[in-house]
């Protein structure tokens, strides 16, 4: 169960993704340290308030959420109600120094309620309960062998593969995603968060507000400071910054002449 178990354990057991929502730095570091003791757990995000947490949860869809009840903006209980209303499939574990607040959490049906201070033994019990639930219900949706990501929109969600995205553009309050079909989708996920996730799929930030899929890059016009992205018969033009122009000068592509 802990890190001193055989190394091959992680290969046999599917990773359980986790997000920590805790505004106190010391408590957040302590919990993160505890979670890292378990090979089957992967902490994929941390947040100090409800707004940050929703940004991560909506985009990453973690398995487990460790939510402190006493958050600075919206309480952990109110945050969990939003998560349930949006039907985000995750298990919630509340953490608090006030045991009497447990009764207020029943409506959102948390997996567990941990009273501070707690440690690895209590977390181990949480994992045991989670595994029992997962073994009974299994996965309601079979995994697509080609990874899809879920992105929240004004009307709900879109489920797309990274290669279906040509580029992203930051707006005032949203991020616009342009697809290979020419369709445009607006999401509340921040431009920065989107870049953090898509960077591993060979996306490049070409300005403060634009992110392109290098797979579709065809032409760079240094005078006009634009790049052209091609998909089938469609051409997309995106403005690029001076710093990004330097990147294109130095990028390790084969050059003729």
pLDDT at 97: 83
Which range of 11-25, 28-42, 95-109 scores highest in mean pLDDT? It is 28-42
Answer yes or no: is pLDDT of 215 > 80: yes
- H/E stretch holding 220: strand 217-221
pLDDT digits (tens, 9 = 90+) for 142-163: 444 446 787 888 777 888 888 8
pLDDT at 168: 95
Answer yes or no: is pLDDT of 251 > 70: no
pLDDT at 252: 59
Domains of the chain: 9-137 (3.40.50.2300), 149-250 (2.40.50.1020)
pLDDT at 103: 64
Q: H helices of the chain, where?
A: 9-12, 25-35, 50-60, 76-85, 120-137, 191-198, 242-250
CB 233 within 8 A of CB 226: no
CB 190 within 8 A of CB 55: yes
At 56, is the secondary structure helix, strand, or coil? helix
pTM greater than the 0.85 cutoff: no
Spatial neighbors of 82 by CB under 8 A, at least 6 apart, are 50, 54, 74
Answer yes or no: is pLDDT of 117 > 80: yes
Answer yes or no: is pLDDT of 256 > 80: no
pLDDT digits (tens, 9 = 90+) for 41-100: 999 999 999 999 998 898 888 999 999 999 988 899 999 999 888 888 889 999 988 766
CA distances (Å), origin 181, targets 158, 185, 195, 232, 235: 14, 11, 21, 10, 11
pLDDT at 253: 57
Mean pLDDT computed over every residue of the chain: 82
pLDDT digits (tens, 9 = 90+) for 118-147: 999 999 999 998 988 777 655 444 444 446
């Amino acid at each position: 169960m802990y890190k001193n178990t055989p190394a091959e354990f992680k290969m046999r057991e599917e990773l359980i993704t986790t997000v920590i929502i805790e505004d106190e730095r010391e408590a957040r570091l302590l919990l993160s340290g505890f979670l890292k003791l378990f090979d089957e757990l992967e902490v994929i995000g941390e947040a100090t308030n409800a707004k940050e947490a929703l940004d991560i949860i909506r985009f990453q869809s973690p398995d487990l959420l460790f939510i402190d009840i006493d958050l600075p903006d919206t309480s952990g209980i109110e945050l969990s109600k939003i998560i349930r209303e949006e039907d985000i499939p995750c298990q919630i574990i509340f953490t608090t120094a006030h045991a009497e607040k447990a009764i207020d959490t029943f409506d959102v049906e948390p997996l567990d309620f941990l009273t501070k201070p707690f440690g690895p033994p209590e977390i181990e019990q949480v994992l045991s309960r989670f595994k029992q639930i997962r073994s009974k219900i299994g996965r309601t949706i079979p995994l697509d062998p080609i990874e899809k990501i879920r992105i929240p929109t004004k009307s709900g969600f879109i489920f797309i593969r990274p290669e279906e995205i040509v580029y992203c553009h930051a707006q005032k309050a949203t991020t616009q995603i342009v697809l290979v079909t020419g369709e445009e989708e607006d999401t509340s996920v921040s431009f920065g968060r989107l870049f953090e996730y898509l960077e591993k799929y060979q996306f490049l930030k070409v300005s403060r507000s634009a992110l392109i899929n290098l797979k579709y890059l065809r032409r760079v016009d240094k005078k006009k400071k634009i790049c052209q992205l091609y998909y089938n018969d469609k051409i997309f033009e995106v403005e690029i910054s001076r710093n990004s122009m330097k990147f294109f000068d130095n990028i390790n592509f084969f050059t003729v002449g």
